[in-house]
Structure 1
């Protein structure tokens, strides 16, 4: 039996989530079932002064009843370095200066309170940059702001995909065919919209067969789903109309997980979702606010939320030694 914990959940407004599929909500339900006390706050509510980090937070209870899925108590000034045992950093990207600042603030109490995922590691491992450490598993990839370089890459690979380096949820992903007729306009829009470089990758026709989300818990495979694109789409993200189906891992995917796992564990990245296309091509390592655990439980019966809380309990015991 684990000790009851005080858990602060840093996330987006609760009234805007889909309780049927939201991974953070599933984690909250699992925590409540274990007797943990939950608090909710938004990242914009963080305050620091005289070495203290606190947030105006609401005690909250949750239930899986759409439209009546949470109840707030009166807000309190929750000292995250003293009053909380665990902080779940679960607000959705964009991975912008607001997100980065929140990691800097939470890092100041990480020696006293377990932050999941580790804030310094989250800051240093943005999804489409961290994955470059594992380029041998990736499709041909170019990171650039240069139209000339993008044109040369298109000529080499025939068809390409262009996407924001810090995008999320399948937003602003464009398929450019071998004619390249819209590439210059697309690069112009990207360069006007984002100051950072953009990710350009060889188009993988196997994306029509799905984009697999594999969840790792403290470096170990917890489960996977295959996400299929909607009609007329190349994007398979559930947030943009993709659908999920049961799946198994290929030998190549198991190899990828075996290589990534120890590093994820070392970095304190307890809940991670990686994306693999065609059973072999690693495209992202999602550490900011990964999803997919509800769908995995639906298809496999695996209690991934419970596995995450078990990993958190283990980390807390190790810190207490």
Structure 2
């Protein structure tokens, strides 16, 4: 197969932990070829197919200088067997425009995973609201008065932007309400921007569990991102420690219930975040955690994923 990865600049990949790199490595191990581009490299002229200025790459097997570039070509996305959308957030207007171009490529015959329309319809923070039975107290608002009311009820809360990743812009406000007004103004830009507020879950001390769901089925291991020191964020990008653990029966049931619904909508890969027994986020843009689980447990999540990609391609032929 010929695979195109639409992602952030590949020079920025940290191969010792990068999930997209593990996907590429597994694909190449199977004899597939890989190319890469950024959303900015996609273009569409009326009367023509969606195209991209793509870099054809060869993996070296090393993890420092990990690829060589063989060619840069302007090629129709439909010429690839699969297009893997792996662009990190923010989930902004440019991301949405990219999904529109990818959706047109899909109409032209490209197999795009995750499906562009499904990406657009499931913003990572907001997607949890569809499954209230699995979610703790959560508020989406731009109103400072709503936030004050929510804090008065729940006392210990977490506030975060809707378009962030890696723990960026996350604040905790305890019972004293210290700086609640200032934090609200920072996140809602004085009433102009919608954000999310959730009840603080003390189970975070045991880790923010990343559950990998592939084609509706959870992987047998999760990655618990455990906050360090005085930090309340477990995100690895915020200094959390990643510890792979066998999935519990409870988390498996939750992941399966959500995964079976969302896989039917074209979300082949999901990163479900669970604290205690509560789902906090449904990550669909570029879920991570493959490398840590593979290295710590030997569970070959990249192989499970490429299996699913191959299956998806066969369905389109």
Deviations 1:277-303 (A, max 9, x none): 01x010011000000011111222111
Indicate if the aligned counterparts of 1:20 and 1:64 stay in contact, CA closer than 8 A. Answer: no
Deviations 1:12-40 (A, max 9, x none): 11111110010000001111111111111
Indicate if the aligned counterparts of 1:6 and 1:84 stay in contact, CA closer than 8 A. Answer: yes
Residue 64 (structure 1) shift: 4.5
Residue 193 (structure 1) shift: 8.0
Matches within 5 A, 1:114-153: 114-153=111-150
Do residues 47 (structure 1) and 43 (structure 2) align?
A: yes
Do residues 318 (structure 1) and 311 (structure 2) align?
A: no
* Alignment partner, residue 245 of structure 1: 243
Q: Distance in 2 between matches of 1:147 and 1:102?
A: 33
Indicate if the aligned counterparts of 1:58 and 1:73 stay in contact, CA closer than 8 A. Answer: yes
Matches within 5 A, 1:1-321: 5-49=1-45, 50-81=47-78, 83-111=79-107, 112-192=109-189, 195-222=192-219, 223-278=221-276, 280-320=277-317
Q: Which structure 1 segments of 5+ residues have no match? A: none
Q: Which structure 2 segments of 5+ residues have no match? A: none
TM-score by length of 2: 0.96
Residue 251 (structure 1) shift: 3.0
Q: Distance in 1 between matches of 2:74 and 2:190?
A: 37
Residue 97 (structure 1) shift: 0.5
Runs of 4+ in structure 1 deviating by more than 2 angstroms, as ranges, are: 63-67, 193-196, 248-252
Indicate if the aligned counterparts of 1:165 and 1:196 stay in contact, CA closer than 8 A. Answer: no
Q: Distance in 1 between matches of 2:9 and 2:191?
A: 26
Q: Distance in 1 between matches of 2:190 and 2:237?
A: 22
- Per the alignment, in what secondary structure is the counterpart of residue 222 of structure 2? strand
Indicate if the aligned counterparts of 1:276 and 1:283 stay in contact, CA closer than 8 A. Answer: yes
How many pairs does the alignment contain?
314
TM-score by length of 1: 0.94
Residue 250 (structure 1) shift: 2.8
- Per the alignment, in what secondary structure is the counterpart of residue 52 of structure 1? coil
